[in-house]
Amino acid sequence: MAAAGYGVFGIDYEGHGKSMDMEDYRNKSRFLYGESMGGPLTLLLHRKDPAFWDGAVLVAPMCKISEKVKPHPVVVTLLTKVEDIIPKWKIVPTKEIIDSTFKDPVKREKIRKNKLIYQDKPRLKTALELLRTSKDVEGNLSEVRMPFFVLHSKADTVTDPEVSRALYERSASTDKTFKLYPGMWHGLTAGEPDENVELVLSDILAWLDQRSCHWELEERIRTPPEPEKSAHVTNSNGAESLVPDSAHGHPPQHGCSFLCGLGGQPNQQHCKM
C-alpha cells in the first residue's frame, strides 16, 4: 500500500516503538485496516468514535472464531473458572493455525522458522479475551456505519466467512462491499501464492482509490446518503461480491461523496492519501 502512495501507520503497542508525526496527513482520508484478529479491533475503534474514520478494509476478520478451531463449550466454561488463577498458562486446546492459514508451502515454512512469531498454544487469558471480543463484535454488527470492504476466503477454517457476510447484511453502512475468494485460505495477503496475493491487494487498492480524497477542514462533517439495494456479482475468476446496485459499471460515487463532502460532489474522487 505504501508503494501505491498510501500513508500506512500501525498501532504503537507497548514496547514496539514510536510512530512518525502524522501532522502532514491531517487533511487526508483516514482508513482502518484489520486482518484476522485486527478485524474486531478495527470495528471496536470505529464504535468508539464513529465519525473519525472514513472507512475500513477488513481481511478475514475474526468477528467470530470458527467452530472448527474453537474449544468445546464445556472446556470454555471450565477454563473461565480458572482464568484469574492461571491467566498465563498455555493450556487452551486449539488446532494448529499455521497449517490452516498459509497455503503456499514455501511461505508456510518461512513462518515456521521465524522466531519472532508466537507458535505455542495461546495463553488462557488471551484466548478467553479473544473469544469474548469476537462474541461482542458479532452481537453488534448492526452498529457498523462506516464504509467498508470485507474480504474473506470461502475455504477459511480459522475465521468464519459467514460472519463477514452477516456483517455486510446487518451493518447500517450504506457503502459496503463483501467479496469471497474461492480456493484461498485464511492468509489472503501473506499465505497465498503471489498471484493470489496480487489479486487481493489490487482489489483493496481499487476500493481505496475510489474513496480516498483530500479534505478541507470544514468538510469533516458528513451527511450519509440514502441506503441502496445490493446485488450479487460473480467475477470471471469465481470470486463472489456483494456491492450496491449503483456500483455496477462505474465507481461508487455515493461512497466518495459520503467521505468527502456534505452530500454534494467531492473535490477529488480518486486522489490518494
Catalytically annotated residues: 36, 156, 186
DSSP codes joined into one string, 180-243 = EETT--S-TTTTS-HHHHHHHHHHHHHHHHTT--BPPGGGGS--------EEEEE-TTS-EEEE
Percent composition of the chain: helix, strand, coil (DSSP 3-state, to 5):
35, 15, 50
The C-alpha cell at 238 is 469465481
Residues 7, 9: Cα–Cα separation, whole Å? 7
Q: Which residues contact 226 (CB under 8 A, 6 or more apart)?
A: 174
Amino acid at site 139: G
Residues 189, 200: Cα–Cα separation, whole Å? 7
Residues 147 and 172: beta-carbon distance below 8 Å? no
3 state SS of 142: helix
